[in-house]
Structure 1
Amino acid sequence: MSTKEKKWQLRLYVAGNTPKSMTALHNLRKYCEEHLQGQYVIEVIDLLEHPQLAEGDQILAIPTLVRKIPAPMRKIIGDLSNESKVLVGLDIQPLNH
């Protein structure tokens, strides 16, 4: 694995299978496949099942995406429908196709 290849650790906080949560997950997977092919891990945390986990990443609204790695940690709130905002927010450099 070269130094340019890094695993992105992304954590998506949701509250049940709401349309907004499902849209956020769908959009996140799409962006990761397009721009981080094979270099990411998505962890989905349902705060209805694990409310205590919200405190660790200071989650105030849902859905919220947290980029754990690479540092520094970044957060994006909402359904992630604005691709350019998500890419800028996560500091993802679009791949040249």
Structure 2
Amino acid sequence: MQEEEINYELRLYVAGKTAKSVTALANLKKYCEEHLKGQYVIEVIDLLVQPQLAEGDQIFAIPTLVRKVPEPIRKIIGDLSNEEKVLVGLNIRPR
């Protein structure tokens, strides 16, 4: 059996454990498990801990999801509760 490769590198920017941040991460994990099982990695960056990292991805609002790979880079702002919008934004075809 062939090892599945990581096709999606996702970075979620949050500021502490706010309700929106927690919801965004929960929603993101759910969608990834449903549509990208075994093909993704999620990096959560807390800007209260590492504020300097906001500049690199030009983060102006939180929570913000950044798809680093595959290119082009895409960003989605908000709690990611609209699954269809997230899948379209990340260019993921529902299974």
TM-score (norm 2): 0.94
For the residues of structure 2 that align with 1:16 and 1:31, how far apart are their CA atoms? Answer: 22
Structure 2 counterpart of 1:30: 30
1:7, distance to aligned residue in structure 2 (A) = 2.1
Q: Which amino acid aligns with 2:79?
A: D
Comparing 46-55 and 6-15, the one that deviates more: 6-15
The Cα RMSD (Å) is 1.5
Stretch moving more, 69-78 or 6-15 = 6-15
Separation in 2, partners of 1:6, 1:58: 24
Alpha-carbon shift at residue 6 of structure 1 (Å): 4.6
Return structure 1 stretches of 4+ with deviation > 2 angstroms. Answer: none
What is the total number of aligned residue pairs between the two structures? 94
Which consecutive unaligned segments of at least 5 residues does structure 1 have?
none
| Structure 2: runs of 5 or more not aligned | none
Aligned to 2:12: 12
Identity of aligned residues (%): 76
| Counterpart Cα distance in 2 of 1:30 and 1:6 | 17
- SS class of match (2:12): strand
